[in-house]
Amino acid sequence: MRQIVEISSSELAPAVSAVLKAQGIPENIIPDERIMDMAKQSISLLQDISRPKGIMMEISTNDFSSIYFGEGKNEIPSPLETIYPYSDSLAIFALTLGENVDREITALFEKNEFALASMLDSAASEAAEMAADIVETSYARTLKKTGQLPSSSALLRFSPGYCGWHISAQKRLFAFLKPEQIGLSLRESFLMQPLKSISGVIVAATREIFLFDDDFTFCEDCKTHSCRKRIRAPKKIIPFE
């Protein structure tokens, strides 16, 4: 069943430190007041102009197989290929911050306000990840209500274009999910429009299944190795009574 996930722009306020870090400013460096004010301005502006929307749909392992293999361009092997067949539950999702954000970033660059445009771009990227966390939490709540989320489980999301999953898989993911309902479309390059959007699959399974070694060839190009931090146990997402 396809469902819309309500996301409020007030929930998507990245920390100033996160925006500065995305700008390449180390956490141990205290920037001058002008830069701090600009980071805060970018966050405030983002909350004013963003119109976040999310959509997700639970999907069977068999149906997800056709999405995952897509155009046949995935890296072999990849973490997701070895994980999803043993999952307890799967849901595909997509979310966007809305067209206004893309337009504002472009407009600022065109007005030569490069610093604020860059700050807003970083703030929007951070906010999109926060929105993905909200969608993931919504799925966890759905599973809990139906008794499909034991406390021993964990959740982890994967997106086309990362972890060896080729971006061309977006084509079949969109065909199943139909995120046009929330204003999302797909370019010929398989990038999403608006750009500040995220799509993928949320995998619910026993925690052990996610503890793979991040030593795949494509892991060398990953700057954050954030998959380790993003493995979330249900008790960290929603309380268990």
Say whether pLDDT at 240 is over 60.
Answer: no
Radius of gyration of the CA atoms of the chain, in A: 18
- Decide if 84 contacts 115 (C-beta within 8 A): no
| 184 vs 59: CA distance, rounded Å | 20
The tens digit of pLDDT for each residue in 9-49 reads: 999 999 999 999 999 998 888 888 999 999 999 999 999 99
Band of residue 230 on the pLDDT scale cut at 50, 70, 90: confident
What are the extents of the domains in the chain?
2-237
pLDDT-derived band at 127 (thresholds 50, 70, 90) equals very high
What pLDDT does residue 151 have?
Answer: 79
Residues 6+ apart with CB under 8 A from 113: none
Which class in CATH covers the domain with range 2-237?
Answer: alpha beta
* Cβ atoms of residues 204 and 88 within 8 Å: yes
> Are residues 157 and 202 in contact, defined by beta-carbon separation less than 8 angstroms?
yes
What whole-number percentage of the chain has pLDDT above 70?
Answer: 95
DSSP states along 172-191:
HHHHHH-GGGGT-EE-TTS-
Quick check: 231 pLDDT over 80? no
Average pLDDT of the chain is 91
**232 has a pLDDT exceeding 70:** no
176-228 per-position pLDDT tens digit: 999 999 999 999 999 999 999 999 999 999 988 888 777 788 777 777 777 76
pLDDT of 80 over the 90 cut = yes
Q: Residue 239, by phi and psi: left (phi above 0), alpha (psi -120 to 50) or beta?
A: beta
Q: What is the mean pLDDT of residues 74-103?
A: 95
In the structure, what pLDDT confidence band is assigned to residue 117 with cuts at 50, 70 and 90? very high
Tell me how far apart the alpha carbons of residues 179 and 91 are, in angstroms, rounded to a whole number: 14
pLDDT for position 29: 83
User: Which pLDDT does position 91 carry in this prediction?
Assistant: 98
Query: Are the C-beta atoms of 184 and 197 separated by less than 8 Å?
Result: yes
pLDDT at 238: 66
CA pair distance 178, 171, nearest whole angstrom: 10
Whether residue 181 contacts residue 235, with contact meaning beta carbons closer than 8 Å, is answered with no
The three-class DSSP label of residue 19 is helix
Ranges 3-17, 42-56, 137-151: which has the least confidence: 137-151
Q: pLDDT class for 239, splitting at 50, 70, 90?
A: low
Q: For residue 59, which amino acid is it?
A: I
- What is this structure's pTM? 0.91
Alpha helix positions (H), the chain: 16-22, 33-49, 61-69, 79-83, 99-110, 114-145, 170-177, 227-230, 234-237
Cβ neighbors of 221 (< 8 A, separation 6 or more) are none
Q: CB of 153 within 8 A of CB of 99? A: no
pLDDT, position 233: 64
More confident position, 241 or 27 = 27
